[in-house]
Chain A
Amino acid sequence: MMSFHPQKKVFQVSSGAESFAQWLDDGGAPALDPRIHLAGIVASSEDPIISKNLDGTIISWNSAATRVFGYEPEEILGRSILTLIPPELHHEEQEIMRKIRACERIEHFETTRMRKNGERFPISVTISPIQDATGKVIAASKIARDISEKKKNDETRFRLAAIVDSADDGIISKDLNGIVTSWNEAARKIFGYTADEMLGQPVLRLIPADLQYEEDEILRKLRAGQRIEHYETTRQKKNGELIEVSVTISPIKDEAGKVIGGSKIVRDISDRKRVERLVLQSEKLSATGRMAAAIAHEINNPLESLMNIIFLARTYSVADSRVHNLLLTAEGELERVAHIARQTLGYYKDTGAPTEVHIHDLLENVLAVYASKMIASGIKVDRRYADSQAIMVSKGEMLQVFSNVVANANDAMPEGGVLAISTREVSSAFGDGIEILIRDSGVGIEKDNLARIFEPFFTTKGNLGTGIGLWVTKQLLEQRGSQIRISSRVGPTNSGTTVTIFIPFARPEVRSEATQLV
């Protein structure tokens, strides 16, 4: 209950509003003493209310003060207010008291105070002078508010803002009229508009003309409080370029639960879509490839016969005759077919099940195939094998990969050179595995071409290239979780190309048969 000690001029409020109400219900005096009335208000306040006299002695202490500071009234009454102030902030009290004596009020002063257990916490205090009947300041009342929670919320807000700004996805909010109200850094990167350019602007700016009807539907759903998830569509960048995006839109509600806008998370999926299209294309090609592989055996032998027979026919024809020249042309054309057959069908074998092999053995197999050609072109091979662990790979695929790379290296060194092949076991960002370096001292690849080197049907070899060798190589490697990188240098000295292949020991789950390639 409540006690009043006139001698000590101290109010002691030892219980909260409930007991005060109880006291009223129990038939407390209907003609309420205003002091008791005020005491009731103080007791039921959520905020600590403390009063102190001019020498800083605490003379009243409500239950909220107990809750926040941890002192019971009997512990703290009569003690100095400095008890609640961290030592390094004691100087504040002098200033506060100076103002109080001058009858000034201090409002929402944010500072730090100390709980009984020594914990410091942020607080906002409003301090008012208490005057006697003559207007003389005799004490001060202090309403404090523990703002730890508010501070925490502020921090959360800052943290969220930082997250939003550092997100890779565009995060945009808009009101129910489709006007942009926030725009993060990733949104700038995706669309090219800065926040200044977009805030207050209609979101329709981002929607291509033929898709603007989508926004009506989106806003309709938002108003109905519905969420739209992973909606894939096309949007337009500032420079007019169209991009494929996946958007998730959620309604933003006010405290009352009323929808006031929408937040939109936008992900640029142009790259993913490109890959999907390529995979689709490669699946089509792979079906073709398998069929081609099935008949490769049947093609290569007749090709060999044809080449021999036409060569013989030419040998027996009269030099420089029409027949001789026609056969010469036929031979040239056959040579082209033979090249393409070797490059694309040579090693393919539908080896669905990978087996354990040593990479250097496979490299040796490929080198054996090219040995005579390399000797003829004056290419020396420098081998440095440091892979000792066997690895699970599809042999046919790997032979095709190495064969394509070695063939390119040979083509780059028509005047001879050094083909340096090395292997080593490495730990990389992609896990542990074997790294294979295949370096030629050839002509090198121009920068513009280097950027396009893995594109299907891109070739620098004119009629003799199919433009699918490296593309197939990359597909074969990547579908097995392996990596390929190519760097190159052109110029009069030190030119050459280095192909780096990384094959992980731990294979990711094997993709379905359908994605296997040529």
Chain B
Amino acid sequence: MYSMLKLFNFHGGLQLPRHKQVSLERPVATASLPEQLIYPLQLRPGVRLTATVQPGERVLAGQVIADSEHFLATPVHAASSGVVRGIVDWLAPHPSGLPDHAVVIDTDGLEQAVAPMPGLDYRHETPATIKARIRQAGVVGLGGAAFSTAVKLNPGPNRVIDTLILNGAECEPYITCDNALMQTRARAVVEGALILLHALQIGRCLIAVEDHMTEALAALDAVLAEVKDRRLSRVAVPSVYPTGGERQLIKVLTGKEAPSGGIPADVGIVCQNVGTAAAIYDAVVNGLPLTWRLVTVTGKGVARPSNWLARIGTPIADLIEQSGGYTPDVRRLIIGGPMMGFALPDDVIPIAKASNCILAAALSEVDVDRETRACIRCGECANACPVNLLPQQLYWYSRVNNLDKLKQFSLFDCIECGCCEVVCPSHIPLVNYYRAAKSKTLTKAKQAEKAAIAKRRHDANQERKAREQAEKAERARARKAALAAAKQQEQPSES
């Protein structure tokens, strides 16, 4: 149970200042009911839901308010009772910072809920039933990607899964919601792991936790000692950023590398966040949809940093207010961590299923108005890159738009973790260059595709015209021949 697993290293990575204790000093508290709950309809890039409620309609907690037929879609449920104000444009928790359609509910404070789905004794259910329940309960990856959990549990017929990894290696600075979750709900995490093992029909689960999270490790160990299931083992992993990245964590635990362009299931592994496991437990055993989550509110820009158990859809401003409000030093509002999180233009934005942390950063904590200097080719970026790319070469080729070379230097393997940029002594916004180059490559591919379609259409058009011409000529010839034949027939009769 206490794993003596041999651990592996990935290249690069950084030991960053953790800043985690500050949000762990206060106990997890339940956030109060906000006046409005906001549910953006864009789930992930390319996955859009349709509202299943009408403006003015009364909804109850746990009721589905949006869903879609898209195979990656999962339903969204109301977190409290109230009246649908409408489907309105609202700033979305998305890097674009643009408004998007969202279902807005004016809460009524009555907290009336629909009856929960029946609790399942998962041992006696088929994996298909469990996966259907997981989808039905709106469970998605809570580590940040919001990818449909049910889909992730269906790796396809050609992939044989042997190991489940529960990711509790919360490697980004400041974020502590998974740590708090493991401390307070270790039981749910472990039960979730057992359900997942059953759903996947496999017999091995590794629960990875960073080695500095002593309380979380102790809480997990206590439950594991009680459960006594030999399939489960918890592993303390070194706290090197980005160990919590799915591919990096798999490498650390198993030495395997998910292939470039592939998925972890290609090496027999399914990886889920610990929070997702707890949500699966709630969905399967308690019949509850995913409407709450733990979220860290932290940074020097907020008076009382802590973890909140909050309704998904709660505006960030509400959580900040309950955390004592902003300090005068607040400078930037970030959703996620300081390495990969995105800055928000406004705090009316609600927390979504994947929102793990609200970082209200003070001027002293974030990089502002930096002066970029010339690259001195020091190579620190390459030393730090966890994917073993050559960030410097990618930078030069991004600057000159050499998309072929960028492909050759594996631009699309970049996970945008930000390590290269943090160590760059010239303060070059490297990740931004890579993002721009990626989108240019995608645009170019799309254009090429469009051009190919246009060419096909043009060729088909030419071909059709030629065919019509030929048919016309053929018809004319036939008509002429018929006419000539008729004439010949006529002539003898006349004579």
Do A and B bind?
no
Query: A residues engaging B (CB < 8 A)?
Result: none
